[in-house]
Amino acid sequence: MALTKEALQALVALQQRDKFLDSIQKEIDAVPPRIAALKADLEGEKRHMDAAKAKILELEKKKKSKELDVAAKEEAARKHSSQLNELKSNDAYKTMQAEIEAEKKAAGDIETEILQIMEDIDKAKQEEKAAVAEFKKTEEFSKKDLEKLEAELSHAKGRFETAKTERDAVAAGVAASEMKVYNHIRSRGKLDAVVPAVGGHCGSCQITLTPGLSLELAKLKSLVTCESCQRILYKPEALAATPA
């Protein structure tokens, strides 16, 4: 295919534009994971806060149940005390008295447990207060960070659109056949599709170019690709030279 110096220059210019676009795209792609990480952080703090609240409720429920147990034991002791005088035998009296003592002791033990639960509730309330403060702090910070990231994203998208328009204008100056080769190389992950040949070597894979290939390059008559890495080659000095 016929090639002109201008066509090769257009390809090099296109690659510069594409690299610029790639760098902006990279910035754009980096934002969503950062937003997700912020949201995950906040979710974590919220779970922590909810767990602290749930713990208080659970302890209060436990306390209530223990209070009912105390009341039941005390009621049983009262009832049995009132029955003491009705008992005829000494043995029955002693047995009942022991039972009453056991009920009173059980009520006392449960009271001790309740005191411990009340201490636990105090502790849980402090933990909850700290968790709420931590959540609010994180919420405030992440709100600011989110706004910053969203502004960054929208700014990057705007820059991308501008750069894309400029890139497309440059691409319009590249012939379809050359564009096909260029796109094919880039689609295989070689984003530097056009590389200079320096000192008889491919500027990318460094392989020594055959004399025939070097001659083709100097002629600037057709598109030359590296035999090893398939990238499009050009001679920087040939592109820089001013036409006669």
Check: CB of residue 16 under 8 Å from CB of residue 169: no
Least separation in angstroms between CB 20 and Zn ion: 23
Q: How far is the CB of 239 from Zn ion (least distance, A)?
A: 18
Which of 152/227 has CB closer to Zn ion? Answer: 227
Strands 232-234 and 201-202: unpaired
| Beta sheet of 194-198, edge-to-edge order | 201-202, 194-198, 232-234, 224-225
Cβ proximity to Zn ion, 117 vs 233, nearer residue: 233
**What residues make contact with Zn ion under the rule CB under 5 A?**
202, 204-205, 226, 228-229
Q: Is 190 exposed, middle or buried (0-12, 13-18, 19+ CB in 10 A)?
A: middle
Q: CB of 229: closest distance to Zn ion in angstroms? A: 3
Q: Which structure tokens are listed for 126?
A: 């402090």
77 vs 202 by CB, closer to Zn ion: 202
Write the single-letter amino acid at 134.
E
96: CB partners within 8 A, 6+ apart: 80, 83, 84, 87
Long-range contacts of 150-159 (CB under 8 A, 24+ apart): 150/35, 152/27, 152/31, 153/28, 153/31, 156/24, 156/27, 156/28, 156/31, 157/28, 159/24
Closest to Zn ion by CB, 171 or 203: 203
Task: Report how far apart the first and last C-alpha atoms of the chain are (Å, whole number).
Answer: 23
Minimum distance of Zn ion from residue 213's CB (angstroms)? 10
Closest contact distance (angstroms) between CB of 40 and Zn ion is 43
- Minimum distance between the CB of residue 230 and Zn ion, rounded to whole angstroms? 7
13 vs 229, beta carbon nearer Zn ion: 229
Separation CA 164–CA 161 (nearest Å): 5
Indicate the residue among 102 and 229 with the shorter CB distance to Zn ion.
229
